[in-house]
Structures are given as C-alpha cells and as structure tokens.
C-alpha cells in the first residue's frame, strides 16, 4: 500500500518534459505510429532490415530457454495485464509495444526480497532459424535488499523483438548481463525498461557481438532517491553488421546516480554502430550525478560509428553531469610505445584492443563469461588484425 | 662487443610550413661498456635524436645511417630495432589503458628473447625489478603507466631496462622532473645495467645533476641539431659553470 502511495506522489511531482529525444511511454500501439525512418529515435536504424517486425504479424514461436536457477529463484508467468501493472515505464516505441501486444503474456524471473544468491542466474535463449519470428516479454523482479547477478545469453538465430521489464526493489543490488552472441543472420530488437528502487545499486552490461542487426533501447528511471545505476556496454561490429545501443536515463528522483560507458570496435565494409546516450535531469532530481561516455575504435576503412550524447537539464542543483564521446583509429603513441619494447605491430594492436575492452569486461566479475568474451574478441580481431601466434 | 654508429644523420619533421630539418648531420659512435652523455639546451634536437634511433613515425630520416654492429637499423621497424637490442626510455612514457604491466612485460620479454620467460622465475624477476626501483609489486596488476606519477613512470622505464637488458639503451631526459630520491633510485638502476660491462648507454639530459650519480665516459654538447663539442667528464663541469651560451651563439653565427 505504501508503495502505491509513494508512486502516485512521485507521478504527481514529475512535470511533463516535452522532448523529441524520448517519446511518451505507452502500451497503446496507436500512440506509436509506424515510423518513416526520419524520426529522431529511428533515423539511425535501417528499418528495412528489421524483416517486417513493424507489420506485427502474430507468431507463437518462442526462443528455447535453458535455465540455471540458484535456490529461491523462480521462473513463472504473468498475464499481459499483470505485467503492464508493474511499476516500470511503458514502452517508448512501437517495437516495445508490439512485443507486449504479441507475446501473449510475460515470463517472470522472480528473485525474492533479501535473497543473496550464491551464483549467477543463467538464462540461455536460443533461436532456431533467422526467419522464425519471435515476440518476447520478460519480467525480472528483484525484491528489496536482494543481491543477484542475472546473465541472459542470446544465441542461435531468430527475428526477435522483446520487451523486458526490470523492477529493482529498494536497497537491492542487481548485475544484469545481456549477451547478444547471435549467429550472423539474426535480427534482435529489444527494449529494456528498468526502474531502480530507493538506494538500489544496479549495473547493466550489454555485450553485442553477433547478429545482422541488433538494436537495444535501455531506459532507466528511479523509484526513489539514492539509486545508483551503471550502464556498461561492449560491442564489436563486422562487415555489414548494424549494432545500435540507445540509453535513456531519466533522473526522476533526487540524489540518484548514473554512469554510462559503452565501448565499441568496428571493422569491415559497412560495419555500422550507433550509440545514443540520453540523460534527463528533472526538476525534482536535485543533487544527482551523471556521466556518459562512448568510445569507438575504427579498425578499418568502410566502417561507420555514430555516437550522440544528449543531456537535458531541468534543475540547477546538480552534483555532477557530463558526457564524452570519442571515435578514432589506433593511437599511434600506444603502438609506438609497445613496439619500442619489441612487441610486433600485430600483437601491439591486439594488446591495445584488449586493453580497450578489458576495462569494461573485467568489471563483470564472472570469470567464465569474462574468458568467453575475451576469446570472442580474439576471434573477431583475428579476421583483420591477425591472430596471435603462440 | 657491439657498436652503435650514427653517421651523418639528418632528420626532419612535417610542420604546417612544410618539412623542417631538426637533425643536421649527427656523427657519434658508442661501444659496449661506454656511457655517453648528450647535453644541450631546449629545442636543440636531443629528443629527436632519441626518437629517430628508436624509429618513431613522426620523424623522417633524410640522410645518413644508424648502424648496429654494421647493420643499418633505419631499415627496420620499431619492434625489430628493439629486438635487435635497442631500448629507449622515454621522457613521457605512454599510458596504455587496460593492458596490465605484468602482461606488457611478459609480452615484451617474450618478443625480445624469442621465447616465453620461465614462469617459475619470471614473476619473481618482475617483482624484484619493481622493488629495486621502489615500485610496489601491486604495480604489476595496474594498467601500463595509467595513473602513475611522473616519477613512477620513469622508475617503470628503468625496471623495463633491467628486465629487457638491451645491448644499447637511450635514456631521453629520464632525470627531468625527478626529486632527489627518485633520481637516486633511477641512477642506481642505470648503474646496475651499465656495470655489467658490456652494455652501451646514451644518456640525454638537460641538466648536469644526474651526472653526479651516473659517471659518463664521454660528454657531448648538442646544439642546433648536431654535436658542437665532445670531451670527457670535465666538459660537463664546464657546462655546469658556463652554460650553453657560447655554443648557442656560435651556432647562431653560422
């Protein structure tokens, strides 16, 4: 009951902020018309390569799930109506609304209050073929003061559109890792909407390596003061791949913190990556801290990285706010220093790229996953930079 | 017994106004076991000499050669020069984010020796090399030079000098910006290296201060892109009392 009262109070307090950067959230499909491609939120996305997702054709197909659940963690189901009633933002775009409308209910991962998991929750979602259309609706609910790591692994191939709701309770600690390790022909669109509880600590990692097109939109707001959210990403685009990561952090409560760091490498003809980092600091959000950073390493000609940080500020009382974006080739100084110690150019480039990504990867703290990511990057690098002879 | 010969070396850099010549015919021969100090005012081209020997892409050699035991190293890549036995301790060591000192040192040692160092002794070797320059062994886990103070970066260079143990080392103003304790630590590391007896050292410096700790066999005055005078230790003392004025004026009069 208390929670409801607080939410209403919160909602009343928040003023409407009109902006082309973030449309109004709604479950109503009519509120999200089919885009022309010129809209701010769609202008970087090659809509034709979404394989008709906007048609919203019905499909009963699912990804096959393999689950490893620590004790106390359950997988269940929620009706669409129950999921909509959760305290977390409605979809910001048509793909999110379509996923809810077509999935026919949500899978609920429930981590009870006060649970301290002794190992990560592992969900492996596998698609069987690129032309299989799958609508997904997932709810991850982390109870108050629980402490959990959740790994979501996307493999195989599919044309997959998902809406994921993450509700993080007061004082909870969540590490959510989403790994997009698809086959080359997969299409994956996903909207992840997360509400961080009072004094919660959340880290979301996104790793996008495979797929023909991957477009994720990660939207965060705060249920109360003191919440801290890190959004961390690593992506590696090869020839022809489109990898797009969008974040919208809506500072809806005072004394909240957000930190966004995405790092990407690109190689090959028409490799395209997009990073859009939007942060809104509302009038009510006094004393908040935010920083967003995107770095891109362009390894070959013919690849293109778009990188756009946006900061909207409605209050004058901010502890810290900033953003940075870099896109460049190898730093000659790095290579010179390493080579001057006898290290061959190929090996020096490998070290620099590893170092670039390692900065994020080492923070996951799940060893087998870190090793898998490092070796995946090794494989990506082998095609252009050359493989280490050892 | 090895020899590093610099013969009539001319080097230029690209500027907005076209190519600018920095080195104007440098001749210098260093043999194993010798310590040479090159001293000169700011802007005389001392660092250009160091970077040109190491092969930095910013510098274009327009004439002359640098021979290591008769082989012209100017035809080699930067890493090939290092594997041939050259080492450059840099004035501003580069930060390489995400690459640990341990990984960097092992990769460099493997490249220089042509085989991976023995695991059993290597960690011990690294730790004691760091300790000798008063760097805590935890530095091995940090990213290369990232967040190091100026003095820590220079001491890290000297730890590398000892671990990689090249035939010839060029120290580019390693002494600049060091307090007296750090200067002593760095000098002791350099003296351990030269005391092997069969290593050559080219010490580039702006100040005579470091020469109280490292005894040069030869001192060269470097002005306007070439050697203006060469002599023994007494030349350093003369520079200490008289400065570079007369050399700078003489060069300007040409």
Which residues of A are less than 8 Å from B59 in CB distance?
none
pLDDT band per the 50, 70, 90 thresholds, residue A14 = confident
Cβ contacts below 8 Å, chain A against chain B, sum to 81
**pLDDT digits 0-9 by tens, A226-247:** 999 999 999 999 999 999 999 9
Cα-based distances in Å from B24 to A48, A140, B5, B63, B225: 61, 70, 16, 9, 5
Token pair of A9 as six digits: 């109070």
B114 touches chain A (CB under 8 A): no
Q: Which CATH superfamily is domain B3-253 in?
A: P-loop containing nucleotide triphosphate hydrolases (3.40.50.300)
Provide the pLDDT for residue B218.
97
**pLDDT digits 0-9 by tens, A180-238:** 999 999 999 999 999 999 999 999 999 999 999 999 999 999 999 999 999 999 999 99
Same domain, A383 and A250: no
Which residues of A are less than 8 Å from B82 in CB distance?
339-343
* DSSP secondary structure string for all residues of B213-226: TS--SEEEEEETTE
B164/A341 CB distance under 8 A: yes
Is the confidence at residue A97, as pLDDT, over 60? yes
B111/A344 CB distance under 8 A: yes
Instruction: Name beta bridge partners: A218.
Output: A192, A247
In degrees and rounded to multiples of 5, residue B54 shows phi and psi of: -75, -20
Same domain, A293 and A350: no
Share of residues in chain A with pLDDT > 90 (%): 89
A341/B54 CB distance under 8 A: no
Share of residues in chain B with pLDDT > 90 (%): 91
Reduced to 3 states, what is the DSSP secondary structure of residue A181? coil
In a mutational test of the A interface, the residue from B50, B56, B98 whose CB has the highest number of chain A CBs within 10 Å is: B98
In a mutational test of the B interface, the residue from A263, A265, A332, A341 whose CB has the highest number of chain B CBs within 10 Å is: A341
Is the confidence at residue A6, as pLDDT, over 80? no
Distance CA B22, CA B226 (A): 9
CB atoms closer than 10 angstroms to residue A79:
11
In A94-146, beta strands by DSSP E: 106-111, 121-142
Distance CA B151, CA B135 (A): 10
**pLDDT digits 0-9 by tens, B203-235:** 999 889 999 999 999 999 999 999 999 999 999
In chain A, beta strands by DSSP E: 64-68, 74-78, 106-111, 121-142, 147-168, 173-180, 187-196, 201-208, 213-222, 228-237, 242-251, 257-266, 272-281, 288-298, 304-313, 318-328
Distance CA B220, CA A48 (A): 70
Same domain, A303 and A340: no
Q: How far is CA B105 from the centre of its chain?
A: 18
Is the confidence at residue A45, as pLDDT, over 70? yes
Instruction: Name beta bridge partners: B59.
Output: B13
Same domain, A116 and A230: yes
Distance CA B127, CA B138 (A): 9
Which residues of A are less than 8 Å from B96 in CB distance?
334, 337-338, 351-352, 355
Distance CA A66, CA A344 (A): 43
pLDDT band per the 50, 70, 90 thresholds, residue A153 = very high
**pLDDT digits 0-9 by tens, B121-159:** 999 999 999 999 999 999 999 999 999 999 999 999 999
B104/A338 CB distance under 8 A: yes
Helix (H) or strand (E) holding B95: none
Produce one character per residue of B35-71: b if its CB has 16 or more CB atoms within 10 Å, e if not.
bbbbbbbeebbbbbbbbbbbbbeebeeeebebebeee
Nearest CB to B108: which of A342, A355, A357? A342
Distance CA A366, CA A386 (A): 28
Which residue from B47, B40, B41 is spatially nearest to B221, judged by alpha carbons?
B40
Share of residues in chain A with pLDDT > 70 (%): 95
B104/A351 CB distance under 8 A: yes
Token pair of B167 as six digits: 């035939």
Same domain, A269 and A381: no
Provide the pLDDT for residue A385.
64
Q: How many domains does chain A have?
A: 2
Is the confidence at residue B202, as pLDDT, over 80? yes
Same domain, A142 and A114: yes
Distance CA A37, CA B196 (A): 70
B163 touches chain A (CB under 8 A): no
Same domain, A205 and A221: yes
Which residues of B are less than 8 Å from A344 in CB distance?
79, 111
B55/A342 CB distance under 8 A: no
| Cβ-contact B153, B186 below 8 angstroms | no
B79/A340 CB distance under 8 A: yes
Which residues of A are less than 8 Å from B160 in CB distance?
341
Instruction: Name beta bridge partners: A260.
Output: A231, A292
| Cβ-contact A348, B96 below 8 angstroms | no
Nearest CB to A334: which of B88, B94, B164? B94
Nearest CB to B83: which of A332, A338, A342? A342
B111/A352 CB distance under 8 A: no
| Cβ-contact A105, A139 below 8 angstroms | no
Distance CA A327, CA A226 (A): 33
* Ranges A132-136, B8-12, B50-54, B94-98: which has the least confidence: B94-98
Is the confidence at residue A163, as pLDDT, over 70? yes
Where do the structural domains in chain B lie, given as residue ranges?
3-253
Residues B26-40: what's their mean pLDDT? 97
* Residue A156 domain boundaries: 2-329
CB atoms closer than 10 angstroms to residue B116:
13
**pLDDT digits 0-9 by tens, B67-77:** 999 999 999 99
Nearest CB to A355: which of B57, B96, B112? B96
B96/A351 CB distance under 8 A: yes
Provide the pLDDT for residue A21.
85
Provide the pLDDT for residue A387.
55
Interface of A with B (CB under 8 A): 332-334, 336-345, 347-348, 351-352, 354-359
Q: Is A239 exposed, middle or buried (0-12, 13-18, 19+ CB in 10 A)?
A: middle
B94/A337 CB distance under 8 A: yes
Which residue from A113, A108, A129 is spatially nearest to A51, judged by alpha carbons?
A129
Provide the pLDDT for residue A3.
46
Reduced to 3 states, what is the DSSP secondary structure of residue A379? helix
Distance CA B47, CA B204 (A): 8
B56/A336 CB distance under 8 A: yes
Instruction: Identify the residue with better confidence: A388 or A279.
Output: A279
Beta pairing, strands A64-68 & A121-142: antiparallel
Same domain, A177 and A250: yes
Q: Closest approach of chain A CAs to the CA of B120, in angstroms?
A: 19
Provide the pLDDT for residue A10.
52
- Find the length of chain B: 254
Provide the pLDDT for residue B59.
96
Same domain, A167 and A297: yes
Provide the pLDDT for residue B121.
93
Cα-based distances in Å from A372 to A122, A367, A369, A375, A378: 15, 9, 5, 5, 10
Same domain, A254 and A172: yes
Same domain, A162 and A308: yes
Cα-based distances in Å from A58 to A48, A90, B194: 19, 21, 78
Residues A172-187: what's their mean pLDDT? 97
B164 touches chain A (CB under 8 A): yes
Is the confidence at residue A386, as pLDDT, over 70? no
Same domain, A153 and A301: yes
């Amino acid at each position: 009951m208390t929670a409801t009262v607080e939410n209403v109070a919160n909602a009343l307090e928040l003023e409407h902020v009109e902006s082309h950067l973030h449309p109004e959230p709604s479950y109503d499909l009519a509120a999200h018309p089919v885009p022309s491609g010129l809209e701010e939120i769609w202008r970087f996305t090659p809509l034709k390569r979404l394989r008709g997702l906007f048609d919203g054709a019905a499909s009963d197909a699912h990804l096959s799930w393999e689950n490893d659940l620590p004790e106390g963690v359950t997988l269940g189901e929620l009706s669409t109506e129950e999921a909509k009633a959760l305290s977390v933002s409605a979809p910001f775009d048509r793909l999110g609304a379509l996923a809810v409308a077509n999935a026919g209910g949500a899978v609920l991962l429930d981590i009870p209050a006060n649970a301290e998991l002794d190992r990560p929750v592992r969900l492996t979602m596998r698609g069987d073929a690129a032309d299989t259309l799958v609508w997904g609706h997932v709810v991850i609910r982390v109870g108050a003061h629980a402490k959990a790591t959740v790994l979501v692994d996307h493999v195989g191939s599919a044309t997959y559109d998902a809406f994921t709701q993450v509700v993080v309770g007061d004082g909870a600690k969540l590490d959510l890792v989403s790994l997009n390790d698809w086959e080359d022909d997969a299409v994956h669109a996903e909207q992840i909407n997360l509400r961080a509880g009072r004094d919660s600590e959340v880290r979301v990692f996104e790793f996008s390596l495979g797929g023909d097109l991957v477009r994720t939109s990660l939207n965060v707001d705060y249920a109360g003061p003191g919440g801290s959210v890190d959004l961390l990403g690593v992506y590696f685009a090869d020839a022809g791949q489109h990898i797009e990561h969008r974040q919208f952090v809506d500072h809806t409560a005072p004394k909240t913190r957000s930190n966004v760091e995405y790092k990407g490498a690109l190689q090959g003809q028409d490799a395209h990556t997009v990073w859009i980092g939007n942060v809104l600091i509302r009038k009510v959000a006094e004393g908040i801290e935010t920083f967003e950073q995107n770095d891109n390493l362009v390894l070959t000609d013919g690849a293109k990285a778009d990188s756009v940080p946006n900061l909207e500020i409605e209050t004058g009382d901010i502890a810290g706010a900033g953003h940075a974006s870099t896109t460049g080739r190898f730093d000659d100084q790095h290579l010179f220093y390493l080579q001057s110690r006898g290290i061959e150019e190929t090996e020096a480039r490998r070290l620099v790229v590893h170092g670039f990504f390692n900065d994020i990867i080492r923070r996951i703290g799940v060893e087998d996953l870190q090793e898998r990511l490092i070796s995946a990057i090794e494989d990506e690098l082998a095609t252009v930079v050359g493989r280490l002879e050892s | 017994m090895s020899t590093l010969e610099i013969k009539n070396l001319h080097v230029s850099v690209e500027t907005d106004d076209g190519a600018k010549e920095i080195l104007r015919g440098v001749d210098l021969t260093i043999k194993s076991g010798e310590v040479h100090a090159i001293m000169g005012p700011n802007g005389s081209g001392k660092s250009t000499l160091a970077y040109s020997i190491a092969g930095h892409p910013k510098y274009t050699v327009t004439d002359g050669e640098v021979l290591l035991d008769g082989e012209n190293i100017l035809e080699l890549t930067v890493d090939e020069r290092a594997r041939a036995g050259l080492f450059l301790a840099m004035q501003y060591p580069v930060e390489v984010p995400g690459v640990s000192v341990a990984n960097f040192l092992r990769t460099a040692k493997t490249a220089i020796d042509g085989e991976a160092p023995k695991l059993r002794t290597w960690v011990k070797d690294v730790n004691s090399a760091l300790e000798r320059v008063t760097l805590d062994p935890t530095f091995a886990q940090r990213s290369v030079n990232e967040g190091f103070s100026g003095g820590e970066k220079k001491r890290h260079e000297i730890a590398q000098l000892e671990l990689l143990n090249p035939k010839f080392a060029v120290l580019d103003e390693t002494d600049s910006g060091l307090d007296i304790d750090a200067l002593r630590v760095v000098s002791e590391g350099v003296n351990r290296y030269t005391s092997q007896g069969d290593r050559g050292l080219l010490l580039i410096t702006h100040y005579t201060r470091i020469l109280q700790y490292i005894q040069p066999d030869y001192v060269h005055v470097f002005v306007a892109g070439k050697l203006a005078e060469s002599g023994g230790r007494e030349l350093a003392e003369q520079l200490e009392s008289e400065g570079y004025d007369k050399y700078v004026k003489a060069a300007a009069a040409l």
